[in-house]
């Protein structure tokens, strides 16, 4: 009875959207752009975020900053670990999307997902250790108790790496939120689908709304607004085109933004160090007299 | 002056101790040389008389100095074992201590700051910075940046006029401890102690080129930070110039740290010990004539005690003695330059124009020299220029608040974030407020404390990077 030309079941195609303040809106601009796999086949239309979306996302990140930075390190660690748990459950979905985006075999993609999950677990364990490792009780020459603690810088604009669609994304987002910052992330333009799935993971992982906001679109178009925005405290330009980075750093100078120094795209398979945690951290020193 | 039975006889320090020379030369590659720039005339801001002529650098001198620093980096300093570098730094620390009195008098002559401050704060703390960092030179593997952190290369450093020798120490000590060589540009109006420091480098037997001192104006600073042979740029100064430097360094791969301006909130809660708080407020804004980037220039007082506190504050401020920086009884010295005095005067006038209430200490001022009476503005609103812009002078703006949350909101209502003060007897409130203040240094029941072991630096537009402690080493290491 069946017709050979009709598949047994037509897949439900997904409409990919942005992730801002815990919601999944379409781009305010109404724009989308087509995403293709490595062979050039159409995968989906992704939302093409605009300057206004950047501003909405920054506002959401700022609103979330007080709660997230004020949460206990133990609590933030649990939330980060929860992200890893939910990612683990979506292993096959991530692997399929990575295979399509990066042209990897399913086995290689699974291994990449595993690395990404493990990295999130690694950072989850850092939340309550940053202060111990980067802070100090300062032995000042006088009757004062002086101590220094690292604190989050604030709202961080993150341009996710263009090539590594999931492992690279996790490697730039995790240290930012581990340190207690909130962020606006611009996903890889050509490979945005794992980032949208990651946003769905965040939405179901106890991550407070607005802590991570994910935009899909063109880094070259959105980055200058992030670099110029007075309510963005730091910028990770990893995913910006090489020729744009110096321009972004110049723009960032108007508000004395911290700009992570990067060259090319790092090797994400290497074990991370503390550089990204330190880069989005301020050291605060507190003094008080000692006496009776 | 208020009527007082206490008449102070003048107790001037002898200016002979400064060993002032009629002319000073710049220091490149271990030698004092004539610079290609137009000579600077350093004047005594307390008398407006010329102190000395100082040769200044031209752009080709910048190139020469950077080359010398590069040679010294490659040939000796970066390859020298840390324990040997340490001994040079210990020598420098001791030589500063030995010549402390000379340096203090010279600093007060050149800068206008009271001798009691240069003698008791600037010079001893400068020596302490070399002493502290000397000990790091052979222990960098323990600093938390990996087992074998590498130096960056040649550091180009530009420092301000408010703490000439102390800022030099903050910049040079960690740079040398980490194995870098330096080219430092002191401020145009206060180059003298830096050139005596160059003599100290010679006395310490420091290899030629490790430290180079180039007096000059802003154009030489700009040429230095833009020089392609410089690997690291460190700047302390105004936010405006800091932004220019960040722009000029953008995309070059040079590592950058900035210590910029501030508009610190000094918050007094209703349970604060008022007399103690008054001392802290005075220290916070009138120390060094208010020429302090972390000065407590915005006083936030809880409304219920505002009148009482202001009354006590005015009585106390009237007792501040303004005058000859070399007099050991002087509390407030001279404004560093005519230009700075004009800037302070202009900003204070904006306070009047915008409706704040000005109160000025009735203290007598010297007839000559650049002086500004300690001034307190009350009824200040957050939108006024005197509440938003850095004045960098002895001018305090007083605002009030009702609840602790309002105090924090007002304190953080600024693009700056260098320092803050908290005055309360309640320990839990101190820690609560310290957590919420977006500032790099928070002083509770004290103000303006500095130590080489305690990291110092700002949030937001007060700059990035820290100086002092383990955190401060990052600025000079390739990590």
- Which pLDDT score, from 0 to 100, does residue A263 have? 83
Averaged pLDDT, B222-244: 97
DSSP B120: I
Query: CB within 8 A of A37, min separation 6: which ones?
Result: A43, A100, A101, A103
**CB B310: neighbour CB atoms within 10 A?**
19
Residue range A65-92: mean pLDDT, rounded: 98
Q: Catalogue the E-assigned strands of A72-190.
A: 136-138, 144-152, 155-159, 182-186
Per-residue pLDDT tens for A17-28? 999 999 999 999
CA distance A8 to B318: 92
Taking CA atoms, what residue in A is nearest to B479?
A: A275
Summarize pLDDT for B360-412 with one digit per residue, the tens: 999 999 999 999 999 999 999 999 999 999 999 999 999 999 999 999 999 99
Predicted confidence at residue B7, as pLDDT, reads 77
Do residues B300 and B284 lie in contact, with contact meaning Cβ atoms separated by under 8 Å?
no
Measured between alpha carbons, how far is B189 from A5 in angstroms, rounded to an integer? 87
Q: Is B406 a catalytic residue?
A: no
Which residue from B246, B441, B471 is facing A256, i.e. has the nearest CB?
B246
Report, as an integer, the average pLDDT of A51-65: 98
Comparing CB atoms, the residue among A154, A263, A289 nearest residue B446 is A289
- The SS3 call for residue A158 is strand
Q: What percent of chain B has pLDDT over 90?
A: 98
- Does the beta-carbon distance from B251 to A246 stay under 8 Å? yes
Q: What mean pLDDT comes out for the span A132-159?
A: 98
Q: Annotated catalytic, B259?
A: yes
Of B178, B201, B293, B363, which is the active-site residue?
Answer: B293
User: Which residues does A23 contact at the CB level (< 8 Å), separation at least 6?
Assistant: A209
Please state, in angstroms and rounded to a whole number, the distance separating the CA atoms of residues B133 and B137: 7
**Which alpha helices (DSSP H) does B99-163 contain, by range?**
100-111, 115-117, 123-136
* pLDDT score of B239 more than 90: yes
The pLDDT of residue B4 is above 70: no
Instruction: Write out pLDDT tens, residues B115-164.
Output: 999 999 999 999 999 999 999 999 999 999 999 999 999 999 999 999 99
DSSP E strands in A76-225: the ranges are 136-138, 144-152, 155-159, 182-186, 212-215
Distance between CA atoms of A68 and A70, rounded to whole angstroms?
5
**For residue B250, what pLDDT is reported?**
96
Substitution target in B145, B451, B454, B461 with the highest count of A β-carbons within 10 Å is: B454
φ, ψ at B224 (rounded to 5°)? -65, -50
To test the contact with chain A by mutation, choose from B247, B417, B435, B464 the residue with the greatest count of A C-beta atoms within 10 A, namely B464
Q: What percentage of chain B carries pLDDT values higher than 70?
A: 99
For residues B95 and B189, what is the distance between their CA atoms, to the nearest angstrom?
24
> What pLDDT does residue B2 have?
52
What pLDDT shows up at residue B196? Answer: 98
Quick one: pLDDT band at residue A4, thresholds 50, 70, 90? low
* ipTM of the complex in this document: 0.95
The answer to whether residue B253 scores a pLDDT higher than 80 is yes
Is residue A11 pLDDT above 60, yes or no? yes
Name residues 134-153 of chain B within 8 A of A (Cβ).
Answer: 144, 146
- Choice between A286 and B5, residue whose per-residue pLDDT is larger: A286
pLDDT band at A264, cuts 50/70/90? confident
- Helix, strand, or coil (residue B209): coil
Strand partners, A19: A214
Contact of B222 with B430, CB cutoff 8 Å: no
Spacing of C-alpha B272 from chain mean position? 28
Q: Residues B32-88: pLDDT tens digits? A: 999 999 999 999 999 999 999 999 999 999 999 999 999 999 999 999 999 999 999
Average pLDDT value over all residues in chain B? 97
**Where does B288-406 show beta strands of DSSP type E?**
298-302, 357-360, 375-378, 395-401
In the prediction, which pLDDT does B374 show?
A: 98
Distance CA B49, CA B151 (A): 43
């Amino acid at each position: 009875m069946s017709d050979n030309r009709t598949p047994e079941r037509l897949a439900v195609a997904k409409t990919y959207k942005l992730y801002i303040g815990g919601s999944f809106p379409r781009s305010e601009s109404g724009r989308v752009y087509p995403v293709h796999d490595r062979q050039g086949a159409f995968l989906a239309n992704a939302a093409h975020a605009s300057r206004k979306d950047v501003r909405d996302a920054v506002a959401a990140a700022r609103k979330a900053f007080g709660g997230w930075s004020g949460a206990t390190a133990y609590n933030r660690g649990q939330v980060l670990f929860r992200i890893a748990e939910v990612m683990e459950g979506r292993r096959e979905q991530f692997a399929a999307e990575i295979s399509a985006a990066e042209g990897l075999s399913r086995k290689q993609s699974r291994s990449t997902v595993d690395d990404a999950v493990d990295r999130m677990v690694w950072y989850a364990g850092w939340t309550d250790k940053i202060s111990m490792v980067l802070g100090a009780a300062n032995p000042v020459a006088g009757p004062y108790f002086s101590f220094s603690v690292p604190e989050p810088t604030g709202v961080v604009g993150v341009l996710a790496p263009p090539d590594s669609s999931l492992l690279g994304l996790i490697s730039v987002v995790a240290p930012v939120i581990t340190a207690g910052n909130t962020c606006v992330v611009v996903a890889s333009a050509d490979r945005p689908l794992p980032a949208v799935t990651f946003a769905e993971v965040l939405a179901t992982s106890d991550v407070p709304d607005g802590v991570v906001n994910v935009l899909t679109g063109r880094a070259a178009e959105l980055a200058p607004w992030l670099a110029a925005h007075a309510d963005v405290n730091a910028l990770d330009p990893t995913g910006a085109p090489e020729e744009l980075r110096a321009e972004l750093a110049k723009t960032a100078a108007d508000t004395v933004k911290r700009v992570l120094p990067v060259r090319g795209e790092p090797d994400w398979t290497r074990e991370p160090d503390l550089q990204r945690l330190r880069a989005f951290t301020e050291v605060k020193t507190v003094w008080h007299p000692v006496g009776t | 002056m208020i009527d007082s039975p206490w008449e102070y006889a003048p107790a001037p320090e002898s200016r002979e101790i400064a060993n002032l020379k009629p002319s000073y030369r710049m220091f490149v590659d271990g030698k004092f040389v004539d610079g290609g720039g137009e000579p600077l005339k350093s004047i005594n801001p307390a008398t407006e008389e010329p102190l000395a002529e100082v040769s200044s650098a031209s752009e080709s001198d910048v190139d020469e100095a950077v080359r010398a620093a590069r040679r010294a980096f490659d040939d000796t300093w970066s390859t020298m074992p840390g324990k040997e570098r340490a001994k040079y730094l210990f020598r420098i620390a001791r030589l500063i201590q030995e010549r402390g009195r000379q340096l203090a008098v010279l600093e007060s002559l050149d800068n206008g700051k009271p001798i009691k401050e240069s003698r008791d704060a600037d010079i001893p703390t400068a020596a302490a910075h070399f002493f502290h960092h000397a000990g790091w030179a052979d222990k960098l593997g323990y600093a938390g940046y990996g087992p074998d952190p590498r130096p960056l290369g040649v550091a180009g450093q530009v420092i301000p006029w408010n703490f000439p020798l102390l800022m030099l120490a903050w910049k040079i000590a960690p740079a040398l401890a980490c194995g870098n060589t330096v080219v430092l540009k002191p401020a145009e109006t206060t180059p003298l102690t830096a050139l005596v420091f160059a003599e100290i480098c010679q006395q310490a037997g420091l290899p030629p080129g490790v430290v180079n001192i180039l007096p000059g104006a802003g154009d030489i600073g700009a040429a230095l930070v833009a020089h392609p042979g410089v690997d690291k740029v460190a700047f302390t100064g105004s936010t405006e110039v800091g932004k220019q430097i960040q722009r000029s360094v953008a995309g070059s791969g040079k590592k950058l740290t900035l210590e910029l301006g501030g508009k610190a909130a000094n918050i007094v809660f209703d349970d604060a010990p008022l007399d103690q708080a008054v001392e802290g407020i005075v220290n916070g804004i009138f120390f060094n004539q208010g020429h302090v980037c972390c000065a407590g220039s915005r006083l936030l007082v809880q409304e219920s005690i505002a009148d009482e506190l202001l009354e006590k504050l005015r009585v106390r401020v009237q007792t501040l003695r303004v005058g000859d920086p070399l007099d050991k009884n002087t509390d407030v010295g001279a404004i560093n330059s005519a230009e700075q005095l004009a800037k302070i005067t202009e900003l204070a006038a904006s306070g009047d124009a915008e409706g704040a209430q000005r109160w000025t200490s009735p203290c007598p001022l010297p007839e000559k020299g650049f002086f500004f009476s300690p001034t307190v503005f009350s009824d200040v609103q957050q939108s006024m220029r005197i509440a938003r812009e850095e004045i960098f002078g002895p001018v305090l703006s007083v605002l009030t608040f009702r609840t602790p949350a309002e105090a924090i909101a007002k304190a953080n209502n600024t693009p700056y974030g260098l320092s803050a003060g908290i005055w309360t007897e309640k320990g839990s409130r101190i820690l609560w407020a310290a957590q919420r203040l977006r500032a790099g240094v928070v002083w509770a029941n004290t103000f303006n404390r500095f130590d080489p072991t305690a990291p110092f630096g700002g949030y937001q537009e007060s700059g990035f990077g820290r100086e002092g402690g383990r955190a401060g080493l990052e600025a000079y290491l390739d990590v």
